[in-house]
Structure 1
């Protein structure tokens, strides 16, 4: 007997570039039958008119901070409700706790809402060794940092992330001191650029140099917040050209014309508003007594001084350039979701359904099959998740069932945690995790450790 049969739906056949009709039979966490299934099952899900997609894979998000906010899942629950079944955390150089602590907490809680993979956040350890944001780490600090990177890889990290904009004192030499020390060229490197807007093209060229020197899988993080201020066309031309030469290079992007980060970070150093061509009133506060207030100069400076770790939203990007980054043949969809105290940017709860609703159905920026490929198959290949991201007999039963005529994001900038519409079911490792926006099981996910792959994987 099967555990679940999903009958009457259509699923993406990426090899043919179209959708196939067929029932899916699930048992013991795997899809074991595809077709006109006659085997009995404990549960039947009727999916006529619906898309049965591989579970969405968020290749760029920011995991829970168990040390500061308690042993509870917040952002992972948001991810789950919008159809995400696997997440890669530890991006932008940010890592909230050592990997051993993160894994132990998941184990102690009996699992997680999603399958979790992690990067080592270089900036987090840089701060711990006393390297200031505007100065290069000295030789002794770099030695300690390299040891920390090695320790975290032994705990199962998939690679490294660097937030150059947050610690502009780091240069290519400091970054390469880490990357050149590892022979495994299938490790994943995620980099938050040095500069945006008018300086974004030079920042991309710097990342390309690092990618070429490292020979590792290299991800340019959240391209939209780097170049969607008038430089997207030039950026995409450059990246596409470089990707044609180096298939290990790629990028991710999210579907909003506003970014979010801590107000005390170097992102908001003097001159930022001149670079963006914006003013203080483009900054929305997200927490505490100031929640949902836009800044003036006085309020901005007050919060930056008194609450430097508050997440703020900066409305500085152009909508048409967001669409460009999404529609480009290369690239992946990712949320860059980050949450403090349950609040933040709506991308943590709405990214994937927003792409499906706004950019696929309404604006027709790209076909549905291509959007799903950017959310599933491409990140799965990137992360060596050979049993995820595509539906075939024997694949992991991580699935998202949605109505293509109704799916859309629900979260907005005033209520950033509202769930989406049109997602009927989310299945994680063969277990129904979400049933019409109601979480039924948020412990079906597990931590996935990196395993060395054969050279040549991209």
Structure 2
């Protein structure tokens, strides 16, 4: 046989291999079958041994699966759960830069709802924003809120000014535009200026604008500390008067003098509202410290005339002396009093090489090292970080309160963290907090397996069907035939959040596989690079060139 012909003809082994592959593909009933796992289906029902078959991105059969899959995963000795849903995500901007969201996927998150601060674009740009995510591809499913202050700022700017009825009408139109573009609802962050300048009336009226679209209102409340009960009452008022569901972001009792006391009154208030028909619930992260900018230590009035004027005031020595007295007042609503003093506030991101050596130290220690009062040290670091936002950890919750909140059946899980632009680095908001890498495995490892605070079935429900129902994610949140096949396969005995306060960027262990819409995105603890995620359009989404709402993902 001529040499040239031998190069063209395949070997007998190759021919047999091709024929075998064709035969397997022709005889396969499913795209993927997960066999022999213990299925925790997300409903809260008791886990059971079952196979799970997936076809065309959806669950096709659960139980004893006799048909074959193009691929099969043996989950013997493992638990099989719906993909975990992050109810309080911060990835709105970073997904445009890197859609892999590796730190999220590696801790089992298959869907995330962002937008505490709103969308990264104005209301009229949301449709294009979603299209950009779809075109470039994302590894997880993602939905987002439009923030009430975005609507306000578009109409009256960022100063503390009164708004007219005409202003509110214009703000409502921005909200309608956002809902029709696919926002899941309205958010607010009334603790932070200038969003804190919004009145309850404004929030109610904007809430009325989202009501016809089936939207939900979610908020970083006006106060999570001394005035926690009043802040919850405002949430209830918005829900009742606007006729909408409300969600308390990262529910906590962040006031050291009231630890282990006020939380019970807060829960009673929420339970009372729920009993009379208010659709109110909450989410939380499982840590005793929150993290945010150093600016959260500054009284709100400083920024009443806008950010630039506020920074100018903060640099004024006379104003500073006044502020130092205010923030230590037990009646202050700012983070120094809430945390019990500067010794409980730790610098974690200075954005300045002159101060990097102090990261990981509290502000009493930093002040002593610099020969300054703690407030001066903190505010100097804050001002010198501009235009970046310097960050701190605020150890302002008790473990007992964290557990009391976690036991409530209407509390889901949210990390309050974003995707990292690069795995092993801080999340996109720039805050080195272990919640960005450990939140969801920590729930199972610490609060189910090690402490027995929750059953595994209840913990999984809090991370799956509960959040899916809150933001109206159709066909997600349970392992049920016809639902989108988002899956986490994990080793219950060895799952562990490895991220700590000292080393917050460590990835978890014990999560073997993560599937998004039927595709394997994490395999044996490594991200595959696939991007099968979908935009999670809100219930008011209207498809382009039509007045009819498009179905939610």
- Common topology (TM > 0.5): yes
TM-score of the superposed pair, with normalisation by structure 2: 0.76
Indicate the SS of the match to 1:8: strand
**Structure 2 spans left out of the alignment, 5+ residues:** 1-27, 301-325, 328-333, 368-373, 419-426, 542-548
Q: Report the alpha carbon displacement of residue 259 of structure 1 after superposing the two structures with TM.
A: 0.8
2:19 corresponding residue in structure 1: none
State yes or no: 1:436 paired with 2:524: yes
Q: Report the alpha carbon displacement of residue 441 of structure 1 after superposing the two structures with TM.
A: 3.2
1:87 corresponding residue in structure 2: 112
Report if aligned partners of 2:339, 2:394 keep a CA contact under 8 Å in 1: no
Q: Report the alpha carbon displacement of residue 450 of structure 1 after superposing the two structures with TM.
A: 1.9
Report if aligned partners of 1:264, 1:305 keep a CA contact under 8 Å in 2: no
Q: Report the alpha carbon displacement of residue 135 of structure 1 after superposing the two structures with TM.
A: 4.2
Q: Report the alpha carbon displacement of residue 415 of structure 1 after superposing the two structures with TM.
A: 3.4
State yes or no: 1:317 paired with 2:348: no
Matches within 5 A, 1:187-266: 187-224=215-252, 226=254, 230=259, 231-246=262-277, 248-265=279-296
- Counterpart of 2:189 (choices 134, 152, 163) is 163
- The CA distance in 2 between the partners of 1:138 and 1:447, in whole Å, is 35
Report if aligned partners of 1:165, 1:266 keep a CA contact under 8 Å in 2: no
TM-score of the superposed pair, with normalisation by structure 1: 0.90
Matches within 5 A, 1:405-416: 405-416=493-504
Indicate the SS of the match to 1:4: strand
Report if aligned partners of 2:228, 2:253 keep a CA contact under 8 Å in 1: no
What is the total number of aligned residue pairs between the two structures?
Answer: 449
Matches within 5 A, 1:66-85: 66=94, 71-73=97-99, 76-85=101-110
- The CA distance in 2 between the partners of 1:5 and 1:240, in whole Å, is 42
1:153 corresponding residue in structure 2: 179
Q: Report the alpha carbon displacement of residue 447 of structure 1 after superposing the two structures with TM.
A: 0.7
Deviations 1:317-363 (A, max 9, x none): 11111111111232111111143365432212211111111111111
**Structure 1 spans left out of the alignment, 5+ residues:** none
Q: Which moved more, 1:295-304 or 1:249-258?
A: 295-304
Q: Report the alpha carbon displacement of residue 258 of structure 1 after superposing the two structures with TM.
A: 0.7
Deviations 1:51-106 (A, max 9, x none): 1001011111112425xx962247x3221111111111112x44323423431331
Q: Report the alpha carbon displacement of residue 380 of structure 1 after superposing the two structures with TM.
A: 1.1
- The CA distance in 2 between the partners of 1:239 and 1:158, in whole Å, is 23
Deviations 1:357-386 (A, max 9, x none): 111111111111111111101111112223
- Counterpart of 1:17 (choices 40, 45, 62) is 45
Matches within 5 A, 1:107-118: 107-109=134-136, 111-118=137-144
2:120 corresponding residue in structure 1: 96
Indicate the SS of the match to 1:322: helix
Report if aligned partners of 1:343, 1:417 keep a CA contact under 8 Å in 2: no
Matches within 5 A, 1:388-427: 388-427=476-515
What's the Cα RMSD here? 2.5
1:44 corresponding residue in structure 2: 72
Deviations 1:273-331 (A, max 9, x none): 22432225523323533344433413311122233623322111111111111112321
1:294 corresponding residue in structure 2: 362
State yes or no: 1:105 paired with 2:132: yes
Deviations 1:219-262 (A, max 9, x none): 01111265685221221122122222225211111100011122
Indicate the SS of the match to 2:76: coil
Q: Report the alpha carbon displacement of residue 196 of structure 1 after superposing the two structures with TM.
A: 2.2
- The CA distance in 2 between the partners of 1:187 and 1:266, in whole Å, is 32
- The CA distance in 1 between the partners of 2:228 and 2:521, in whole Å, is 40
Gap change, CA 1:16 and 1:412, over 3 Å in 2:
closer
Between Structure 1 and Structure 2, whose CA radius of gyration is higher?
Answer: 2
Q: Report the alpha carbon displacement of residue 182 of structure 1 after superposing the two structures with TM.
A: 4.2
